[in-house]
Structure 1
Amino acid sequence: MLIAHISDFHLFSDRPESALVRADATEAARKLVANIAAFTPAVEAVMLTGDLVDGGTEEDYALLKDVLSPLSVPVFVIPGNHDRRATMRAAFADRLPFAAGTYLNYEASHGDLRILALDTLIEGKVEGRLAEESLDWLEDRLDRAHAGPTLVLMHHPPFDSGIGALDRRGLVEGGERLARLVRAYSGSLRILSGHVHRPYQAIWNGVLCTVAGSPAFQIGLDLDGQAAKSRPVQEPFAYFIHRLDAVGGVVVHTRYVDL
């Protein structure tokens, strides 16, 4: 099974909320979607890990659905810090089985792949959190036996990147309990995230994690950890193709797109 992992479209129907978002973000996202749609052999599902839009309006989500429309495969989305729960829930209620309650968590499947989507949004804040309600929900799902691979989707990575300006505005609550749940899980598990606007991979508590870049803008590789602000860079855009086998093995390929 081939899975595409993308993130942080920051689409806007009127004007961007974020100063760094490129003016042609919609055109860039359309090029990325076209690249995924044309990939051979065909990608079977797409994971879009948050900051789907930049302001969270109904019009923003309508634009997003139009941008994604060339994809004939399931697209699984989660909220990022620029999304808004009410309008996102309304926009995707016909496509995704959101859990009852405040948070946009949900469980879905594609073949033998299980997707556990986590809401890390603190509305009005850049930082993210995993509420106890969400962690209880996740623990209940992970306690249920599943023979195939499991993907956990969450916008804010639960580990530092080394890019200090972004790490200080990352996941600020719930990471320790999540780490315990991940360590205790005995099956095939992967975590897919976004937020950092730079593609990279990590091993965290024994689990392979990938963080997708952003076609809206990319952040430079500044690993001194002390910079007050992150800086955008002009670099080739890359997204991930995950090749999952029947026994839970995974190979992650990097796909470059000229945006």
Structure 2
Amino acid sequence: MTVIAQISDIHVRPKGRLYQDRIDSNAMFARAIVALNGLETVPDFVLITGDLTDEGSPAEYAMVRELLAPLRVPYALMPGNHDDRVQLREAFGDHPWLPREGELDFGVDIGSIRLLALDSTVPGFHHGELSAASLQWLEHELAASEDKRIMIAMHHPPFSTGIPYLDLYGLANVDALADILSRHANVDRIVAGHVHRSMQGRLGAVPVLTCPSTTTQIAARFKPDADPASYLEPPAYLLHRWGEGKGSGVSHLCYIETFDGPLPFA
């Protein structure tokens, strides 16, 4: 069995500062770490799918490292549109998965799963786009791993959400990714963040799942003139689990907060 926990959009701030001047995102991320450490089935790996910080500052990345220190399992970080590649490299330069130049694409073997992380960020902008170099890297990695189940991770999900103010900042070149996937049958799923909600979709034959934020959740407002809004809905993470054989992969939405129970239902 292979288990990967995914958290996303943690928006860490410098010590003593609040996210959007009203939410203690650092404390909420710390609670997420406690929740992951307390799981009955210990994950093999933890993946954070971007927006590690809110402004990409050195003080924020130092705080990310401090808050991650209690985590008891291996982890990897990916950039989001609120991150800064240069500062992320400097803060986590001792991590072997981190490329030393160019986009922050990397691959990691975790049990029976090959994780391929794609850097979808565009420096200075909030929308996503996969560079020609990243797409070429993905094609090569998929061809070299035809005997493995692949999970692709990216910050920007490769679908339209139907929420107008979110789709302004979506992934620009979805078709290029879909074209590559059409030539490889070993991609089990795509996971993403960015949208601060749990969503499910598809890109061709491949399921796409988004992870909620550990901070605020973006409102599901679908009217064309809808104003952006967020709520303090329960923060959550995804737990991806694979057993042996086909059809054994499943992803669970898990809430970070504690609730009453277990209840004595027959």
TM-score (norm 1): 0.91
Q: Which residue of 1 aligns with 2:120?
A: 120
For structure 1, which segment, 92-101 or 135-144, has the greater mean C-alpha deviation from structure 2 after superposition?
A: 92-101
Alignment of 1:140-219 (within 5 A): 140-172=140-172, 174-219=173-218
Query: In 1, Cα distance between the equivalents of 2:213 and 2:190?
Result: 17
SS at structure 1 position matched to 2:32? helix
> Are residues 1:241 and 2:239 paired?
yes
Is the partner of 1:138 in helix, strand or coil?
helix
Q: How does 1:126-137 map to 2 (within 5 A)?
A: 126-137=126-137
Deviation track 1:43-92 (CA, whole Å, cap 9, x = no partner) reads 11111100001111222111111211222212121100010001111222
- Which has the higher mean CA deviation after the structures are superposed, 100-109 or 84-93? 100-109
Partners in 2 of 1:137 and 1:229 — Cα distance? 38
Task: Tell me how far apart the structure 2 counterparts of residues 113 and 253 of structure 1 sit (CA, whole Å).
Answer: 17
> Aligned-residue CA RMSD in angstroms?
2.0
Q: Is the 8 A contact 2:193 2:212 kept in 1?
A: yes
The answer (yes or no) to whether the contact 2:6–2:48 under 8 Å persists in 1 is yes
Note closer, same or farther for the CA distance 1:146–1:91 as it changes in structure 2 (3 Å cut).
farther
Moved more, 100-109 or 123-132: 100-109
Q: What is the correspondence of 1:1-259 to structure 2 with a 5 Å cutoff?
A: 1-13=2-14, 19=20, 22-172=22-172, 174-224=173-223, 226-247=224-245, 249-258=248-257
CA distances 1:185-236 after superposition (whole Å, capped 9, x unpaired) = 1114211101101112222211121101112211111233x13532112322
For residue 9 of structure 2, what is the amino acid of its counterpart?
D
Q: What 5-or-longer segments of structure 1 have no aligned partner?
A: none
Partners of 2:59 and 2:90 in 1: CA distance: 12
Structure 1: distance between partners of 2:244 and 2:99: 28
* Aligned-residue offset at 1:18: 6.6
Percent of aligned pairs sharing the same letter: 33
Gaps of 5+ in 2: 259-266
Residues 4 and 240 in structure 1, CA contact (< 8 A), matched pair in contact too: yes
Q: Give CA-to-partner distance per residue, 1:135-192, whole Å, 9 cap, x none.
A: 11111111113423211111011111111110121112x3111011112211142111
TM-score by length of 2: 0.89
